[in-house]
Structure 1
Amino acid sequence: MKKTLILTTALTGFAFTANAAEVTIMSWGGAYGKSQVEAYNKPFAEQTGAKVTMVDADNPATPIKAQVEAGNVTIDVADVEYSDAVRLCDEGLLEEIDTSMLPDAPDGTPAAEDFIEGALTDCAVANIVWSTVYAYNTESVDGEPMTMADFFDLEKFPGKRGLRKAAKANLEMALVADGVPAGEVYDLLETEEGVDRAFAKLDTIKDSIVWWEAGAQPPQLLADGEVVMSTAYNGRIFNAAVGEDQPFEIVWDGQILDFDLFVIPKGAPNLETAMEYIKFSTDTQRLADQAKWISYGPARKSSGALVGLYQDGETEMAPHMPTAEANLTNAIVNDFEFWADRDVELSERFNAWLAN
């Protein structure tokens, strides 16, 4: 028998049927996954009675293509990077999302105007702004690294370096380290000369690299002393430094700003509930609540003023956001279209470079 569940919160009002009131979310795990469980999943389950299951993946975009093509989709919502959202949508692997369904800001501003530029696409709704940075262990490094060039300077700062095992972010950072201004990086990467230059810079530290694939790995590599510096997601380093009292410092120079977005795989078993979950989780208050747990900026403008203290009740979150003015000097905004178009080609070259 169908039973209608109705939400009557101040910010959200929707109804859906109990026979669809379950939803499986795939995200990245770790401190980020915890922030979503606390800010989105628990309140959604409490207010709707829906069963919310969280599944972790090193990169949630990876299983979507295989599941959709096999006709065996087991996840309803996935949290993915922007270039993956664009690519999967272009390939017809995602459900389209009518963004007019998203709740207005508390002052009545329509969602389309309240989300920061680029945060809404045909198949995706952004929830956070995050960045790839590099960090170092202050107990393992003599001196104070301040620039991307310092990350690549093995003479001045000897020791192993951690890098994500992918072309994305590494090529941009290599060019910044080689003296290319942030605003010129993608123009140069559009050329063969620019790609060659990036790989040549990576060559200078290749023998000192420890590769990582999951977001939880860089803080562990730094803590264990396996590397003295590592690229990482800024929120993971914040969690380790502030939440776990690790002696880590972030270097913001050359940071690469990015979005994470919610998408729904084509053929999701609980489509209606998935849509309601996204509506709920990307309202103004929910996005502000998420920032209490990790230093990723909300994708809505109206959420910014509601971002307060970390869960410790002491640490102001605003200065730790990648979008804080002091952290934006020489920042790169990820060119989503560039990576949607060039990811396969550059990944093949990266893998060939790794093998040599």
Structure 2
Amino acid sequence: MLARSLLAAAALAATALAATALAPISAFASPNDLTIVTRDHSLQNAMQSAYVQPFTAVTGVPVQQESWAGGIDTLRSHVKATDDPWDLVLVDADELSAGCGDGLFEKLDWSAIGGKEHYAPQAVSDCGLGAVIVTVVLAWDKDKLPIAANWSDFWDVAKYPGKRGLRKGVRGNLEIALMADGVAPGDVYKTLSTTDGQDRAFRKLDQLKPYIQWWSTETEAAHILASGEVLMTSAPSGPIVVMAREEHKNFDLQFAASLYQLQSWVIMKGSPSLHAAQQFLYFTGMPAVETRLLRQSGDSGLAKGLNDALSPEMAATSPGSAANLDAGLKLDAGFWHDNLAKLRQRFDAWQGH
């Protein structure tokens, strides 16, 4: 009965509350609140408008939002917490695998959240429901660079002078370097799994090192492009799309040879609001509701049918559209689980010299 009422009310709630102002987010949750935890404040604010307000209007369940920086140790500590329990947390693929294996998350009852067939296959696992696709693309301002840029152009500072933006960290940058050096996306991890391939990636980064402007957050990536500090930058597509729309910037994105990963919802083991968490997943997994998040944040969900009714303009920048997924490379969480510590140490030493 509840599922049917949620389904009937979803589209109405999604449109009726479209203009509702953001409600303030309380720092403390009562025992009856549902606490959801995401990684960055821009996504948190988008979810407040696209997900939280309509959900609370339909169900009457209060929702509190928190943010976290990631890490399996943080999840372990919060499983034991009683004063500030987390219910739903957005995790990356490595955290999902490790936390599920360690018993930190509830095994999902798929019948309570819409059924496995409701979602794209890659969204479905024992403990996690795929929530958003985060795609790192090449971004530039077409007013300053009126070309269809690629990673080879990104490295060509002689032809296209100016600073280049890259995320401060090893994961993702080695893949980008190899693709800029001519490695096909499908061969990147085979190449990167060898010592010669890793050396090749660092040699490619050496070529660009004097021109790199490092960024640490999604917001910072969009800012250094908008301010003109860099001519081109790697960046999550969502903030670039939102800034282009809201600040009338003539930004362009290149999804060919982009790098994408899934972030998934997990329900923390022993959540005091298990039923409300299931309601939230059911509600926010509807295509009509996920479309609101795409409009608000540029981030794509994984409900089947989400991209079918999009305008050509929205589909072109949706990380979840078939064309953009096919053109990109999925970040290999298994590779980074096995190699992150070693390659991070090498990258940090390289960056410091």
Give the TM-score normalised by the residue count of structure 1.
0.82
Q: C-alpha separation between the residues in 2 aligned to 1:72 and 1:348?
A: 36
Matched to 2:225, the amino acid is L
* Contact persistence 1:87–1:340 (CA under 8 A): no
Between 296-305 and 218-227, the greater mean CA deviation after superposition: 296-305
- Alpha-carbon offset, residue 326 of structure 1: 5.1
Does 1:95 find its partner at 2:106? yes
Q: What residue in structure 1 maps to residue 318 of structure 2?
A: 321
**Selected match of 1:131 from 115, 130, 135:** 135
**Identity rate of aligned residues, in percent?**
30
User: How many residues are aligned here?
Assistant: 333
Within a 5 Å distance, the mapping from 1:87-236 to structure 2 comes to 87-103=98-114, 111-141=115-145, 143-144=146-147, 146-236=149-239
Please give the secondary structure, in 1, of the residue aligned with 2:122. coil
Alpha carbons of 1:123 and 1:326: their partners in 2 closer, same or farther (altered >3 Å)?
closer
Between 316-325 and 193-202, the greater mean CA deviation after superposition: 316-325
* Contact persistence 2:72–2:95 (CA under 8 A): yes
- Alpha-carbon offset, residue 176 of structure 1: 0.2
Question: How far does the alpha carbon of each residue in 1:280-301 deviate from its partner, in whole angstroms, 9 at most, with x for none?
Answer: 2223432233223233333022
Q: C-alpha separation between the residues in 2 aligned to 1:32 and 1:278?
A: 16
Between 75-84 and 39-48, the greater mean CA deviation after superposition: 75-84
Alpha carbons of 1:198 and 1:102: their partners in 2 closer, same or farther (altered >3 Å)?
same
Q: What residue in structure 2 maps to residue 108 of structure 1?
A: none
Q: What residue in structure 1 maps to residue 299 of structure 2?
A: 296
Matched to 1:234, the amino acid is S
Q: What residue in structure 1 maps to residue 56 of structure 2?
A: 45
- Alpha-carbon offset, residue 172 of structure 1: 0.9
Q: C-alpha separation between the residues in 2 aligned to 1:267 and 1:73?
A: 13
Alpha carbons of 1:346 and 1:69: their partners in 2 closer, same or farther (altered >3 Å)?
farther
Question: How far does the alpha carbon of each residue in 1:252-275 deviate from its partner, in whole angstroms, 9 at most, with x for none?
Answer: 231112222112334545334223
RMSD across aligned positions (CA) = 2.9
Q: What residue in structure 1 maps to residue 88 of structure 2?
A: 77
Alpha carbons of 1:327 and 1:125: their partners in 2 closer, same or farther (altered >3 Å)?
closer
Matched to 1:77, the amino acid is L
Alpha carbons of 1:273 and 1:60: their partners in 2 closer, same or farther (altered >3 Å)?
farther
**Selected match of 2:331 from 319, 331, 334:** 334
Q: C-alpha separation between the residues in 2 aligned to 1:68 and 1:290?
A: 28
Alpha carbons of 1:63 and 1:208: their partners in 2 closer, same or farther (altered >3 Å)?
farther
Matched to 2:134, the amino acid is W
* Contact persistence 2:163–2:230 (CA under 8 A): yes
- Alpha-carbon offset, residue 175 of structure 1: 0.5
Between 123-132 and 27-36, the greater mean CA deviation after superposition: 27-36
Does 1:9 find its partner at 2:12? no
Query: Any stretches of 5+ residues in structure 2 without a counterpart?
Result: 10-29
Question: How far does the alpha carbon of each residue in 1:102-133 deviate from its partner, in whole angstroms, 9 at most, with x for none?
Answer: 21xxxxxxx32332122111221012223110
Give the TM-score normalised by the residue count of structure 2.
0.83
* Contact persistence 1:61–1:80 (CA under 8 A): no
Does 1:282 find its partner at 2:273? no
- Alpha-carbon offset, residue 349 of structure 1: 2.9
Between 335-344 and 246-255, the greater mean CA deviation after superposition: 335-344
Question: How far does the alpha carbon of each residue in 1:66-110 deviate from its partner, in whole angstroms, 9 at most, with x for none?
Answer: 43477765422122222332233234433332333221xxxxxxx
Q: C-alpha separation between the residues in 2 aligned to 1:343 and 1:96?
A: 27
Q: What residue in structure 1 maps to residue 21 of structure 2?
A: none
Question: How far does the alpha carbon of each residue in 1:15-74 deviate from its partner, in whole angstroms, 9 at most, with x for none?
Answer: xxxx85411222234543333222211111112222111223455877424434777654
Q: What residue in structure 1 maps to residue 244 of structure 2?
A: 241
Between 324-333 and 164-173, the greater mean CA deviation after superposition: 324-333
- Alpha-carbon offset, residue 145 of structure 1: 5.1
Alpha carbons of 1:64 and 1:218: their partners in 2 closer, same or farther (altered >3 Å)?
same
Alpha carbons of 1:37 and 1:306: their partners in 2 closer, same or farther (altered >3 Å)?
farther
Alpha carbons of 1:49 and 1:331: their partners in 2 closer, same or farther (altered >3 Å)?
same
Higher helix fraction (1 or 2)? 2
Query: Any stretches of 5+ residues in structure 1 without a counterpart?
Result: 14-18, 104-110, 309-314
